[in-house]
Structure 1
């Protein structure tokens, strides 16, 4: 019996505790239902900066008098129900609470606030609460705040870029701390003007945009442009930088259109003509042939191929066209030679052989007639050489004095005796 009574008592105590919990929850739910708060779902900021929390609220008529008693406005973090807060939970979070300041007018139901000296430890859920002396109400809608050590890259908007048409490049970054807005710019400026503007977003937050106004040209195509944002901080650290690189895609009409052809065109050759042009977007190529003043469209393709015949002789034109415009190439004159290349090589080989035989014959004839002339010339040279030697010897003999008194040589043939007296000669006469 005692055990039965003790168990009944325990049941009654548990039931009473459940009623107490339920009544507390219902009471808190009723208090919360009288305060409706409108805040963004998520807000992002940077460690060392501040954060503006846009906030509007509505309060029931039963609790309207709270606003007339100079209530205390706070932001409760982490948990909506104070019943579930443990001692350790409360102490740990109170040690990390940021500096809060309400900048909105409560009489106009504006609860906009600023959180200062943020660190990454302040990332959490926050609920708006109005506390008077005897009562307080807490909003049911929480704002989730993320505090990071870095800055997200900018959001860049690039419209369609066409050569010669003025456009705006827009680079936008959040401005979570209105007292220290970021500085946003473009580099390079592409010869245009950069304007910086502050925007109020639909959820009450702010952002800063840098607008680059310029006129694109073909030289800007595939050029890298950098959007840079500089975020100042409350602390003494250096400002944080964020950037985003954009590669420009400029549309322009075809430029420098030309036709490529290699070698001569012979009868029966396989001819391939290629039309090349610089264009963005890529151009569509049309082929035309002009002959006897009449222009005829041949095909729509990048390459034109055919087997060379006499009727292929004429002027060839390539037209490159895209959405931005069109451009024709210079006329290419093609004349199909009357013979094939193989026949031309055969004729060239035959002519080469004939010329070689003629050259050999001329050389042989020249050598044959050249040898007798050379032999006669050699004989004449020998005769002249002998005669010259005889003359030299004769001169030597004539100039040599007679040593022999009896004989004096006048020439190589005759010799006279000097010892014959002249008297004998005259005597004989």
Structure 2
């Protein structure tokens, strides 16, 4: 008898385990009026149980899924004030066992506890966890984004309502007020509303002028015509400006817009424009149509190993809005002349190294007869030119 009784108890325990069901949800959720609340939820069920209908119901004085349902997947017995406001987040909830819901268009009345139940069409399982939803006053503000404002250039302000909800679209109104002026609504046809990824936003497009500087622009958002919030920004207008500069150097030899450098050195020319909006800068050589360098705000032309052929005038052009300015840099590259070892009487003539033209000119005057007597080639660094008699 005792043996049989123990077998019955073991069988009952195994049967209970095979038909056990568990569920899990957040104990409490806090959300703001006019927005939405998401209740995360998951559940399990016995293998023999086939979920068919999901039911969420509220708990007041009593918890009854018959008379206090806020959501039912078969749309039966749902309280009128919750219809079209509550939805499962996962349409394939029976397979994924995801019973999470979203409650949109929250009001203070939605504060309370909620429970979940699932049925197979004939019987059902009620999960004994409760989730408390606390609805607080609306405190979140809309987000207003504004690019840099430039006089005469069309711009767009964007106002994004708070929340990531899929409920009733909020009303979004733009208002602006100058110094000492009362608020005025922006003309409605300058504002458009869109919903992207459950975000509601409105844009305001206009062309700033000097009168807009310092004006306060407010974005006013209303949910359910009851819960309102707003954000205000002050417009700061940046007038177009344009300052043009030209800098150049060949190491320490070529400085400023005019100067001389020697072959083999590096040429660096920098042209810049401090402007708003940014300017387009280009470098070209005079009588050439080839762009040597270009950039925005600054363009630096670098020639690492100059030769005499790089001498000439270089033109920098800066284009800003409807204004075009040019500056030029005159580059003179001088040869560093060297005389090879002379053919005769080397102790007298030796090797001459003349870094600048004026020195070479004087040398010619001093040694004219010698050059006539000993004509030879003079080397300009790595290039060779024929000796000239002055």
Q: TM-score, normalised by structure 1?
A: 0.36
Question: Which protein is richer in strand relative to its size?
Answer: 2
Specify the structure having the higher radius of gyration (Cα): 1
Q: TM-score, normalised by structure 2?
A: 0.39
Question: Which protein is richer in helix relative to its size?
Answer: 1
